[in-house]
Each structure stands twice: as structure tokens, then as C-alpha cells.
Structure 1
Amino acid sequence: MDETTVKSYIEEVFAWLHAHPELSYEEHETTTKLKELLSRNKIKLLELPLPTGAAAEIGSQDGPLVALRADIDALPITEETGLPYVSKIEGRMHACGHDFHTAAVLGAALLLKEKESALPGKVRIIFQPAEEAPGGAKKVLETGILDEVQAIFGIHTSPLFPVGTLGLSSGPVMAAVDRFVLRFQGTGTHAAHPDRGVDVIPLAAHFISALQTIVSRNSDPFAANLVSITRITAGNTWNVLPETAELEGTVRSLTPENRQLIKDRLYALAQNEAEAFGAKVAIDWIQGPPPTINDKAWTNLFLDIARKQGFTLQEAPKSLGGEDFAYYQEKLPGVFASIGTGLSAPNHNPKFKVDPAALLPAAKLLAALAEGALRRLAK
């Protein structure tokens, strides 16, 4: 399949995917479609023992093994783009560009298939479910399908860059994402007699103020860390001091060391504040994806190939958003890049859209990257 044919083919696939969004772990129609497309183009399907998602492999020779990853799930958002291929499913939308990622990686697979016999190794293609859950990457890793892979690469749409621009840098580029829930337990009493109880309202207020000192006083001032309380629940009437206060929030950090520091300090502050007020505290810590940290050597190769492909290069803007591609990077070297898909409303916005003109350049870039990685490993 030549480049002109690939271009029209993946643009058509992209439009279909956009019109048929499916939520995390529900991507059954998407999975069936992808398997049909891969089989139709004589690309070898691999067994991926998950309810959704697909895997394939290109290459006919023994040698190194690298992987390209695309995520396939959508979001529970009602689309407001007015595109001719607008979502056909009310309340669901590809508002983060996973339809673009999937079509671009499929395009790379088609281009690699044309030179399969000349590849000095194999390229494994992963169409991953449930990035938005998050956690689909962990499910893929648990299958063992990446056990022998030596490097993995992925992209993400960027509404900050025009078509033809690539945002990429080595080191941390996206944050570890953790969630916490605290329940302060005091003693309820009449609001007229606070001395007869243990009031969790001022306790919660003290804790919230103290929590901000973790970033301002305990961590490196030049580090990008964030601690936010996003929900407070306490009391249900005006003249009763409640027995409990529940606080929920999120922690974002760019290094494993800061991730652990923040967790340790949060636990210490919560327990010490509770003790000082004569209350008790229970803490639930829900660990999310680790930081997305790009391998330096593979980033340099990615940059070199993107330059040769005619991309304008920008340093990737660091984000305290999370990305479950990071689970792969805990196990093997990897690079995650931001690819310009035209200026637009932000990701996760009902008006978010991408320019299909970016599809073929992205597919060519990923195909060249996979081949270049194999040749470097084969030396």
C-alpha cells in the first residue's frame, strides 16, 4: 500500500473510530474493527488475552523487538464539534485523540508491512484498552505480551501545536497521579456546646492549610509538585457539630522520590493533626500511574528521525496530568511524544478536535522510528 493509499485509508478509519467511541473496557466494536482491518491487510494478529484491545506483529526475521502503542478508549463527554463524522453515541466522545493515535499507529503498521522482509527484527503493535480508566497498560503488561520488547513508543495529540510540530524531551514529561481520601473521626455535639465534643471542622481546616506546606516547605522549590483538596464533606445541619469530615484530593509529582515524600508527609500531617485535636483519622491512598519519564537515548533517536521527516521540533511542555503509558516505562525503555494536530479546544473538552492532515505524517514518523529503533538494536 503506497503513501497516498495509506493516507486515505487511515483518514477513513479515523472518521469511523471518531463516530463510534467506546468507554474504557467497553471497546468491543473498536476491537472487532481493528482485528478485521489487520487481518484484511495480512498483518499477523497476536493473542491478547483481554476482553478488549488487540495486538499484532510485523517482521519476518529474528532479531530485536520494539513496540508501538495506541490507546483506543473514549470519554463520557457529549460532543459539540459539528464535525461530519461526529460521535453517533450520545454522551460519548473521542475527546482526547485516541481515535487519532489508533489510526496513526495502524498507518505505521501498513507502511511497515510494505517493507516487512527488510526489517532487521519485529515491530509489535499494541492497541491498548482503558487508558482513561486508567490502568489498561497494566492489564496489557500482565499478559506478558511485552516481556521480550526492548523499547516502546507512543504519541499523544496536542492541540497546542500546529500540524507538523512534535513536542518531545527526555526525562519527566507527565506526572505520577495519586488520589487520597481522609476521614477525620471526632465526637458530635450541639453547636452551642463545642467543649462536649471533638469538632472536626477546625481540624479539617487546619489540615488543609498544613497540607500546602508540603509543596512550599518540604519539597525542592524548583520541583513541579501539586497537592489539592478537591472535595470536603462534613455535617448536614446548622446547629450540630458533625462527628466526621471526609476530604478527598489528588497528588501530582514528576519523580518517584517526590511522590514518596508527599505521601509520607501527608500521612504524618493527618495523623499529627488528628492527635492534636483529640480525633482519629483513616486514610485511603489510591495509587495511579507513575511519572512518564522518557529515556534519553531513545528520545535522541526519536528527535533525529522527526527532524529528518521534516517536523518542527519543540520541547515537550511538562504536564501534571497523568498517562498510563508510564506503566510501560517502569518495565522497559520508552518515549512518549506530543504530536501537533492543529490548534483546538483542549483535550477532554466537548469541542476538542484534531486535523486529519496530521495522520499520514504521524504514521510515517512512527514507521520510521520503529525501523530506526530496530536498526540501532541490530548493530
Structure 2
Amino acid sequence: MYKTKLVDSDLIAWTIEQRRHFHMYPELSGQEYETAAYVKGKLDEFGIPINPKFSAPNIVAYFKGTEGKKTIALRADMDALPLYEEGDKPYISTVPGVMHGCGHDGHTATLLAVAKWMSMNPHLVKNNIVLIFQSSEEASPSGAKQLVEEGVLDGVDVIYGIHYMSNMPLGKIGFATGPAMASSDDFDIVIEGKGGHGGSPHETVDPIYIATHLIQAFQSIISRNLNPLHAGVISFGGMQAGNSYNVIPDKVQLKGTIRALTYEGAELMHTKTAQLTKSICESFGATGHYHFIEGTPPVYNHPEACEVATEIIQKTFGDDVFLPFDPVLGAEDYAYYLKEKVGAFINVGMQSEKSQYPHHHPKFDIDEAAIPAGIELMIHLALYA
């Protein structure tokens, strides 16, 4: 049906130029003011109005279609990571300790290219398009959550976003239907016992010993409480307790993360970790203080949106380009959009010699050969989703 490529070499070259600009001048989550100003300047050039109601540094623009019977939102994230970039690329970060180590520079440039193309071909765009340039994907508070609370999805029928992926072959595009990425919540626990001499443990309430029971018990949530068909994981990442050979400390501090592919699984693990902390500590005569740190919900790709996206990918690029993606326990705040509206989060492969390092690695880079497919995909989603 489609197969006609809408993206020419000039737009591709322009997009790569924009991507390299963003890469050279990265900004951390919540600090993307210069990036936002740059995006705003380009949208002004294209004559696409920006909605001023949304909190800075987010940028939300609105393109009115010729028919306007349907409104489609397209999202790109803008923030970088607190990493010192390694390598000798000509567009290396100019900001010490900050780099685009996850591809958000490519996402922002790609969505800008879609905006540019629409401004040049307004007669072809029947749908209304909401362009979301989002702050703070990598850190809390989430930019997606903030925008949803501010009403960015009001009147939107469906939302799509893309992510350039270094662990997916260059030339492939795909996603997981249904549960796609995990929730990400954290917890802090303080176990208060009674310290004393290591040679007289009977006179103490040993919080280290209690902590070992708690760590083991949390794994029973995964093996005995969580539905075996619903993936989830609880991992402890920190433990601080005492600093002597023969002194049992008064307290132990634990910290960890909870990941789940379903809303139900996330809620179950939150509830059970809190209950076990209280009950196990009390059974040993200690006090357990549990602090839950809410992160992002699971990414759920709606089947109806996935069906449309699959058809668009196959008709635009060919049947062999689409690659079903397994769910992963990484997290994405794009989940907040999908919790409210029908939509999907789509992976664009770029694994190659140039893009051989994982996301969040100091040598990570986008293989710019993937960018034409990203632009083409998002334009077709705007036109035909």
C-alpha cells in the first residue's frame, strides 16, 4: 500500500546535523532549557504553534490536520545522562560529565524531522498531530507523569514513541505486544535492633542476622506469591551495617529495586515487601522501617495500536523488517502515557560496529544509518495510525 519513501536525502542529512548538535550540548533531566529553546526555535521556523500551558522545559506543539478526525501524539525524550563520554567522535559532548548515552538526541532530532516534513507537506497530513518533546525521562520526577497530569493527552486518540536500540539489529523494527517493559520502584529499609558485643549475641537483637532472613524472604514473593506467568524481580543493591569485627550494630540499612511486567505484580510486590519487613523484624524483637519509592509503572503496548503499527511497518519497509521483541525488565516513563491512552512504544534497531556498546555506556553512540527508518516510521504513524 505505502512502500513509497517520504524521506529524502536532504531531510536525512538535516536530521543527522540536528542530532549531532544535541549530542554536543547535552543537558541532564529537568535542565533541558537550552535544548527546549533550540527545539522551540525550529518549530517557530516551521510555523507549528507551541502550547504554552505545559511546564518548562517540556515543549508540546500542535499540528492541525486537513481533516482532524483523529489526533495522534508522537513523543521524544530530550534528557542526557551523568556520564563522562569516551571516544574521539567529532561531535563528542562539550559538557564534562554529561552525555547522550541512551539515544535521546536521536529521538529529539527525529521528531523535529517529522515536524519539518509536515510543515513542508501540510496537504498530506489529515490527522491532528501532538508533538511531545519531553523532559526528564531518565530521572524522577518523571516528565511523562508531569505532562499527563497537566493534560497533554486530552483529546488524543493514540500515542506512539520510538527508541533507537543498540541491542536490536540495524534494519529491524519491532516491539513486544502487551507487557513490554517493567515497572521500576525502589525501597529503603532500616532494621533497628539492639547492638552489643560480638561474643554475647544473646544480649542483643542482631539486625544483621535479621537482614539475612529478610533478604531470603523477599525472594519467596517471586517464587511463591507472584503469578509464574507474570515476570518480576526484587534485587538488593545496598547494605550498610557496622564497621567492626566484634561489635553487633544497632541497625542495618538496606536498599533495593522492584521490577514487574504487570500492574498487579508491582502492587503485590510493594504490599508483600512492606508486610514481610514488619512481621519478620517484629518476630525477632526488632523494628523494621520500610520506605517505598514509587518509580514508573510497566510499559503496556496496547494490542490494537500494535496491530496498526505492525501493518505500517510491513507496508512501509517490508515483511522481513518487523521483528517481534521480547519483554525486558528495563523501565521507561513512556509507561505513563500508555496507562492513560491506547498506544505503543516501538524499537528501531541500530546494532552495528558503530553502535556496539549498550545504552548508558560511556562509548555508546547511535548508528545514524538507523535514523532514516526512524523518521519514515514516525511520519507514517502520523499519516496512517
Q: TM-score range by the shorter chain?
A: over 0.9
Residue of structure 1 in register with 2:195 after alignment = 188
Residue of structure 2 in register with 1:23 after alignment = 28
| Counterpart residue identity of residue 52, structure 1 | P
Q: How far apart, CA to CA, are the structure 1 residues paired with 2:343 and 2:21?
A: 29
The equivalences for 1:1-379 within 5 A come to 3-61=8-66, 62-134=68-140, 135-310=142-317, 312-343=321-352, 344-373=356-385
Residue of structure 1 in register with 2:3 after alignment = none
Q: Provide closer, same or farther for how the CA distance between residues 77 and 48 of structure 1 changes in structure 2, counting only shifts above 3 A.
A: farther
Q: How far apart, CA to CA, are the structure 1 residues paired with 2:182 and 2:83?
A: 24
Q: How far apart, CA to CA, are the structure 1 residues paired with 2:53 and 2:100?
A: 23
Give the deviation of 1:220 after TM superposition: 2.7
Of 77-86 and 279-288, more deviation after overlay is shown by: 77-86
Q: How far apart, CA to CA, are the structure 2 residues paired with 1:49 and 1:217?
A: 44
Normalised by the length of structure 1, the TM-score is: 0.95
Q: Verify the 8 A CA contact 1:19 1:86 in the aligned structure 2.
A: yes
1:79-133 CA-partner distances (Å, limit 9, x unpaired): 1132111111111110000001111111122222233234333101000000001
**Unpaired runs of 5+ in structure 2?**
1-5
Q: Verify the 8 A CA contact 2:125 2:382 in the aligned structure 1.
A: no
Give the deviation of 1:17 after TM superposition: 0.5
Give the deviation of 1:48 after TM superposition: 4.4
What SS does the aligned partner of 1:230 have?
strand
1:22-53 CA-partner distances (Å, limit 9, x unpaired): 00011111011111111112222222432212
Q: How far apart, CA to CA, are the structure 1 residues paired with 2:176 and 2:199?
A: 59
Q: Which runs of 4+ in 1 moved over 3 A?
A: none
Q: Provide closer, same or farther for how the CA distance between residues 2 and 327 of structure 1 changes in structure 2, counting only shifts above 3 A.
A: closer
Q: How far apart, CA to CA, are the structure 1 residues paired with 2:373 and 2:344?
A: 18
Instruction: Report the identity percentage.
Output: 36
Q: How far apart, CA to CA, are the structure 2 residues paired with 1:100 and 1:7?
A: 12
Q: How far apart, CA to CA, are the structure 2 residues paired with 1:125 and 1:84?
A: 30
Normalised by the length of structure 2, the TM-score is: 0.93
Q: Verify the 8 A CA contact 2:186 2:294 in the aligned structure 1.
A: yes
Q: How far apart, CA to CA, are the structure 1 residues paired with 2:367 and 2:332?
A: 22
Give the deviation of 1:151 after TM superposition: 0.8
Q: How far apart, CA to CA, are the structure 2 residues paired with 1:81 and 1:155?
A: 26
Q: How many residues align?
A: 373
Q: Verify the 8 A CA contact 2:101 2:365 in the aligned structure 1.
A: yes
Of 350-359 and 67-76, more deviation after overlay is shown by: 350-359
What SS does the aligned partner of 1:251 have?
strand
Q: How far apart, CA to CA, are the structure 1 residues paired with 2:243 and 2:74?
A: 52
What SS does the aligned partner of 1:215 have?
helix
| Counterpart residue identity of residue 108, structure 2 | T
Q: Verify the 8 A CA contact 2:300 2:335 in the aligned structure 1.
A: yes
Q: Verify the 8 A CA contact 2:7 2:375 in the aligned structure 1.
A: no
Q: How far apart, CA to CA, are the structure 2 residues paired with 1:29 and 1:201?
A: 48
What SS does the aligned partner of 1:349 have?
coil
Q: How far apart, CA to CA, are the structure 2 residues paired with 1:347 and 1:331?
A: 27
Give the deviation of 1:2 after TM superposition: 6.5
| Counterpart residue identity of residue 357, structure 1 | A
What is the root-mean-square deviation of aligned Cα atoms in Å? 1.5
Q: Verify the 8 A CA contact 1:106 1:363 in the aligned structure 2.
A: no
Q: How far apart, CA to CA, are the structure 2 residues paired with 1:109 and 1:157?
A: 19
Q: How far apart, CA to CA, are the structure 1 residues paired with 2:168 and 2:212?
A: 41
**Unpaired runs of 5+ in structure 1?**
374-379
